[in-house]
Amino acid sequence: MKRKQGKILSSLVVFMFLFTLFPAPADAQEGITVEKAIGIVKNVFDVPDTYSKFTSGISDEGGMKRLTLSWEEPGDLGGHFQAQVDAGSGDIVSMYRWDQDSPSSQLPTLTVDEAAATARELLQKVAPAKAGHFRFQADNQIVPLSGYGGSLYLRFLRFENNIPVENDIASVEINMADGQISSYNMSWSDYELPSPQGLITPEEAAEVFKSGKMLEQQYFLRQEQPRKIQPLLVYALKHPSGGVIDAVTGEPVVIQGGTWRGLNEVASKDMAVGGMGSSAPMALTPEEISEIEKLENLISREDADKTIRELTGIPAAAELNSASLNPDYMDPEVKIWRLSYQIKSETEPADFGASINAETEELLSYYAYDNYNQDQKPDMTREAGQKIVEAWLPEVSDKMSSVRLEPVEEEINPRYEPQEWSFSYQRVVKGVLCPGNGINISVNRVSGKISYYNLRWNNVSFPDVTGLGTAEAHAAYLQHMPMSLVYLTDHDKNGKAAFRLVYMPRPIPPAQSARMIDAVTGAKLDWEGKEIKDRTVTAYDDIEGHFAQEQIQLLAASGIMTEYGSSFHPQEEVKLVMVLRAMILANDGFYNQNLNDEEIMQRALSRKWISKEEKAQDQVDRGRIARLMVSSLGLDFVAQKSEMFVIPYSDAEKIPAEVKGAAGLTHGLGIIQGEGTTFNTSHLITRGETAAILVRTLGAR
């Protein structure tokens, strides 16, 4: 229940941020009045009569007026229905509903095709003139099995002249248990469409991509365990254009102000994993700090304060406000002093903070904040700021010979003057960029002083530079992400939007987008550096007539137990990690598809489903899978009281004590029925039996 309440509250908060609403008088609209909008909505959707509290509003975003209609059921836990109607065209552009009685833990009854058909019917009703322009995007759809709503999001992309319009999307959320539409949104841009004549070909665009060397070999810092970083050699999209090619001129183009930023942003943001200067403090007790201070190779707090002031220029007027000595989160062997300072002044207050390696005295981070020069016009050029930065850095770091200044990719915004110039110097190892490590630094354009500094530098071993050459890597990447012609929204220097015909790397549905590829194998990788495994199984060739055929097909639609492609191998005996992987995917969703066996075992161990002694390749008998299903339901404490249960098997006396409760509980819940009159604890479970048992367990919730 709390989960549902949170969902509606968060949705309403987001809605209020997106739109500025005020009451909409019935006669204030040109075209569609509130009265007409009510009729339009109720002709498409069933609004319960119990939703008696009604309000309306109007939003105006960029000249697009929308009427907002809201119905609520009185009471704190009452249902809610909200829709938006375009005040000009009369199209319903969004809808959201929440009902506390909606099924949230039932198994899916709809297929993806059935859900897509329902969504298409909806589009015909809410926007009849536009519906024919939208095409369903399979998007590697996974039918959710988790117990929180079981909703599937279906995406429809606008096409014009048989060309996708990248940012114009209709999305429909459908509850797969009862077929009810939970939400719907449509975006549609009324810009003039450029003619698709006189364009370069996809092959020519691919040659521009290759000749522009838009992929760069890099070291990606993959987090293998909570405190273990493993560098991985990859090729990542690294170009100001993000791989976007003008379809008319054949030149790379930087799209301004739109949603397309390219996949290479991961290099400067998402790739930053761990690092000395960005660690979260792990507070030590005074006794532990006292003990560490006694170690000869660590500097004292007083020395840390002195060194920080000398390196950063924090003024004497700044009082030391706090100090802590903590191990670095990613490398506990490294101890870090973190100090904060404050100038208490009514006219010129200021705050400072810094961290320093307690052994080497290397400055790891620094910031300075004041707001008393905010009114002064910043007039320092970027070139002047860079000179200040590069004069300051050698005084605090010996790593300047191992970094590379990254080019700035700034959007045109004449209405904004930044108060600071920021620079990113990224680490280079063996001639290869390592975007997760380096130095970020900012200089105040008014005072000319350094306002921010952060060093990220993991002490790890880097693999040798081997694998695919540049040409091979570009060819491999374009195999995964071929150059595709699209309409993309661009903005001029005045912020005016218009469509532009471009080529950009896009996967062919239902394949997933790739941020980068493995530099050795050419496999596409996700944002965590794990191999992306596209789900292609829609039917199996070896389950016809099997007793668990229906359950196997349900799991296939959810991306579970698809290890063997077009075959399922229903009679094959399962290994422990197979069962655990299926349980985790069923419980947590398909976001965990790319977990390796070790990660699956660790996750199961953390949930107390298994013991440390169990191995990934262990066989699974009926007794073990019974206990696993009980654990997944959170009923171990019940199963432990085996005396509560009547064990309806003739071999009950042979069932081990630790299994009896699970055997009785799973029988009572209809999950495991044994072999009729016997349980046969040692029977080794097959993949087909696992599918049936897992789906029954999900249905027992």
Using pLDDT thresholds of 50, 70 and 90, give the confidence band for residue 535: low
> Residue 598: in which H helix or E strand, if any?
helix 597-606
Same domain, 283 and 426: yes
Average pLDDT for residues 309-315, to the nearest whole number?
94
- Please list, residue by residue across 410-439, b when 16 or more beta carbons sit within 10 angstroms of its beta carbon and e when fewer do: eeeeeeeeeebbbbbbbbbbeebbbbbbbb
pLDDT at position 9: 44
Kindly report whether the global pTM for this prediction surpasses the value 0.85: no
- The least confident of 56-60, 468-472, 627-631 is 56-60
For residue 500, give its domain range. 202-271+464-525
- Whole-angstrom distance, CA of residue 439 vs CA of residue 399: 9
Could you tell me if residue 531 is inside a domain? no
For residues 488 and 262, what is the distance between their CA atoms, to the nearest angstrom? 12
Last residue of a domain, one of 119, 153, 186: 186
CA 621/CA 619 separation, integer angstroms: 7
The answer to whether residue 542 is domain-embedded is: no
Among 421, 276, 445, residue whose Cα is nearest residue 354 = 276
Residues contacting 322, CB < 8 A, separation 6+: 339, 340
Distance CA 153, CA 442 (A): 41
Residue 257's pLDDT band (cuts 50, 70, 90): low
Check whether residue 154 and residue 18 sit in a common domain: yes
What value does the mean pLDDT take over residues 658-662?
92
Using pLDDT thresholds of 50, 70 and 90, give the confidence band for residue 532.
Answer: confident
Whether 214 is covered by a domain: the verdict is: yes
Burial of 258 (0-12, 13-18, 19+ CB in 10 A): middle
Q: Is the pLDDT of residue 101 over 90?
A: no
Average pLDDT over every residue of 7-21: 43
Whether 424 and 478 share a structural domain: no
Q: Are residues 557 and 607 in the same domain?
A: yes
What is the distance in angstroms between the CA of the first residue and the CA of the last residue of the chain? Answer: 15
Stronger pLDDT, 264 or 373, i.e. the higher one: 373
Work out the mean pLDDT of the chain and round it to a whole number: 85
536 in a domain, yes or no? no
Consecutive H or E run containing 185:
strand 181-186
* pLDDT, tens digit (0-9, with 9 covering 90-100), for 263-307: 334 333 333 333 344 444 445 566 555 554 545 678 888 999 999
Q: Are residues 556 and 675 in the same domain?
A: yes
Q: Do 163 and 307 share a structural domain? A: no
C-alpha–C-alpha distance, residues 547 and 544, integer Å: 9
Closest CA to 189 of 218, 214, 157, 147: 157
Judgement on whether residues 448 and 307 belong to the same structural domain of the protein? yes
* pLDDT band of 641, cuts 50, 70, 90: confident
pLDDT category at 228 given cuts 50, 70, 90 is: confident
- Give the end of a domain, one of 456, 480, 496: 456
- Name which residue leads in pLDDT, 419 or 91: 91
- Which is more confidently placed, 256 or 400? 400
Task: Name 222's Cβ contacts closer than 8 Å, sequence gap at least 6.
Answer: 229, 230, 231, 232, 273, 528, 529, 530
- How many domains does the chain fold into? 4
The pLDDT of residue 125 is 96
User: What's the mean pLDDT in 400-414?
Assistant: 77
Give mean pLDDT, residues 201-208: 97
- What is the per-residue pLDDT across 31-85, written as a single tens digit (0 to 9) for each? 788 999 999 999 999 999 888 889 988 887 766 788 999 999 887 667 899 999 9
Instruction: Examine the fold and report which residue of 405, 437, 456 is the final residue of a domain before the chain moves on.
Output: 456
**Residue 79 corresponds to which tokens in the numbers above?**
């249902």
Distances (CA, A) of 669 to 626, 665, 698: 11, 6, 11
